[in-house]
Amino acid sequence: MAAAVNSNNEISHQPCPYEDCGSSDAFAYNVVDKVGQCHSCNRAYPGKDKKFSWAEGTYPPPPRKVDLRSTKVIAGRFHGIRGLDEDVAKLYNIQLQYGEGNVALRYAFKYPNNVKYRGYAEKKFWTKERGSPTDLFGPDFNAGSSKRIYITEGEFDAASLYQVMGKSFPVKSLPSASLSEKFIKDNFDYLNAFEMVVYAGELDAAGQGAANKLYSMMPEKFYYVPMSKWKDANEFLMEGDSEDLKWAALKPQRFSPDNFFVGDLEVQKAISTENPYAYVPTGHTGLDDKIRGLVKGGLTFIKAMRGQGKTELVRYFEIGLLKQNTRIALLHMEEMKSTTYRAMATYELGWNVRTKEDAVTSGYSEEEVIKAAQKAASDENTIIFEMQPHDDPMQLLDYVRLAATVYGAEYIFIDHVQRLAYLSNAGVDGATSTLTTIGARMAQLAKELNIGVVFISQVNEDGRTKYAASLEEEAIICIKLQRDTESDDEVERNTTQFIVDKNRPFSKLGNAGSVYYDPQTTLLEEVAFKV
């Protein structure tokens, strides 16, 4: 009875083929890949150790790979090569070489001082002479014989593009996407003799790197051919889309390095793939009417004088995001973790459990408080981190990047920013300089990672941001909090008004409604907006 083959194409619990092991049930053999492993002697199969006479009959080894470097070549032909006309293949010295039995073995690409080979069945490269070519591949087109020259990343692509372009423009290939300094030095004069150097290769990571180096050689005359449908010229040729490539190649676009964006394709790509100012609503009707929500890709700046309830207001936002299953990271530098979690539990329960005594008064056990906090924190959607006493303030940038990239935080709340200045121990000038640098770098980081960073800040009695005027400049949205803490009216005394005084994404400014602080429950509630 034949052994059963499992879903991984293996037969297991078989006798080991090695004589000095001889285990009767520790061997597993893959019938597709024709390899195995003994879990008793811990050896792979096939191997060099002595085997039982029955081994290769029972466990057929994989066929030996043909060494294409040493295989005898019987004939070389220029026809039947990836859609190329025979005269083009001859011109470019691209040959398909055959072995005994008319078996196709490899392609040969003749460079000026070397021959590069590529396996026919397997995309594997090697060269006749030691070392990689440092020349351009292709016919000996005279320098400056045309106003433009096209450069591809592969030999097939060079010949294909030449054919597609009606055999009327010089086209050469790079020896590889990794361009050495020697290549740049040796080929500069030749390429510089043309008015336009046009790159016609795939702009993946490797291709972009090659294009950037070519651009640095001659930025004023370097262009590229957009490859919108297929990744390279040979694919266009073989797929029957030569006309599409031809017209794209006749109208090349000016090349821009990674950090420059120019041309129709960049317009299309940006509009199709980027969502400017994505946001998550705060849940406050009046505020969302103005700013739509907390915005990603930039800084939101919330400011108020001391004693205006900044932290509690930010907590209101945090809870609103968590209810929408949004992952947030919190840096509350003036409170313990237990304070943060108890405040979350308060919002979940609807009653004040901010201390153990408050919980007892409200009729809740500590176990109930813990469960409520866990529910409010929404599993792993709440990430709390701290600045360590020995941390440099700039360490905040690393923590934010960690929270976003490792823990997946979409929004980072920092309360309050002046605490970072105090960590610098460098006086007023040093504090200002620290916050200026943090603001500029954090704005860039928010844009890079497409996260929302919310800074909470104190302002002086004159309304100026303490130590951090530059942060307000870096922000794309600024929200000012106002509350009359000395009013005789309790409701008025506990009502905080939102005023949007900067709104770069959506332009709406002014009164954005208010929230009421209930002293009994210690919760914030939206007040009906009065026009």
User: Is the model's pLDDT at 427 over the cut of 70?
Assistant: no
The beta-carbon contacts of 55-59 under 8 Å, at least 24 apart in sequence, are 55/17, 55/18, 58/17, 59/17, 59/29, 59/34
Task: State residue 256's pLDDT score.
Answer: 74
- Say which DSSP state 18 is in: B
Q: Interior CA angle at 357 toward 360 and 381, to 5°?
A: 85
**How far are the Cα atoms of 77, 156, 172 from residue 84, in angstroms, in the given order?**
12, 8, 15
Task: State residue 260's pLDDT score.
Answer: 66
Asked whether the whole model's pTM tops 0.95, one would answer no
Q: What is the pLDDT of residues 10-27, one digit of tens each?
A: 898 899 999 999 898 999
Measured between alpha carbons, how far is 293 from 514 in angstroms, rounded to an integer? 15
Task: State residue 1's pLDDT score.
Answer: 40
Q: What is the pLDDT of residues 43-89, one digit of tens each?
A: 999 988 999 999 989 999 887 766 667 778 889 999 999 999 999 99
Question: Taking all residues of the chain, what is their mean pLDDT, rounded to a whole number?
Answer: 87
Measured between alpha carbons, how far is 326 from 409 in angstroms, rounded to an integer? 8
User: Is the model's pLDDT at 269 over the cut of 80?
Assistant: no
**How far are the Cα atoms of 164, 174, 191, 251, 388 from residue 146, in angstroms, in the given order?**
17, 19, 11, 16, 65
β-pair partners for 110 = 115
What one-letter code names the amino acid at 29? Y
Task: State residue 426's pLDDT score.
Answer: 59
Please tell me which residue, 274 or 346, carries the higher pLDDT value.
346
Measured between alpha carbons, how far is 311 from 334 in angstroms, rounded to an integer? 9
**How far are the Cα atoms of 209, 232, 513 from residue 289, in angstroms, in the given order?**
45, 48, 10
Q: What is the pLDDT of residues 295-333, one digit of tens each?
A: 999 999 998 887 778 888 889 999 999 999 999 999 998
Domains of the chain (ranges; CATH) run 10-58 (no CATH), 75-127 (no CATH), 148-271 (3.40.1360.10), 279-328+391-527 (3.40.50.300)
What one-letter code names the amino acid at 296? K
Please tell me which residue, 461 or 353, carries the higher pLDDT value.
353
Q: What is the DSSP string of 115-140?
A: EEEEESSS--EEESSSS---SPBS--
Radius of gyration of the chain (CA): 34
Q: How far apart are the first and last CA of the chain?
A: 86
Q: What is the pLDDT of residues 226-263, one digit of tens each?
A: 887 888 999 999 999 999 999 989 999 888 776 666 66
Measured between alpha carbons, how far is 352 from 350 in angstroms, rounded to an integer? 7
Tokens found for residue 522: 């210690």
Q: What percent of the chain has pLDDT over 70?
A: 93
User: Is the model's pLDDT at 390 over the cut of 50?
Assistant: yes
8 A C-beta contact, residue 178 and residue 187: no
User: Is the model's pLDDT at 265 over the cut of 70?
Assistant: no
User: Is the model's pLDDT at 151 over the cut of 90?
Assistant: yes
Task: State residue 250's pLDDT score.
Answer: 92
Residues 261-290 have a mean pLDDT of: 81
Measured between alpha carbons, how far is 1 from 228 in angstroms, rounded to an integer? 56
Please tell me which residue, 197 or 227, carries the higher pLDDT value.
197
Q: What is the pLDDT of residues 78-127, one digit of tens each?
A: 999 999 999 999 999 999 999 888 888 899 999 988 999 998 888 888 88
Dihedral of the CA atoms 227, 231, 236, 240 (nearest 10)? -110
User: Is the model's pLDDT at 200 over the cut of 90?
Assistant: yes
Residues 415-424 have a mean pLDDT of: 74
Task: State residue 451's pLDDT score.
Answer: 95
Task: State residue 218's pLDDT score.
Answer: 87
Alpha helices in 101-232 (DSSP H): 155-164, 181-192, 205-217
Residues 367-384 have a mean pLDDT of: 91
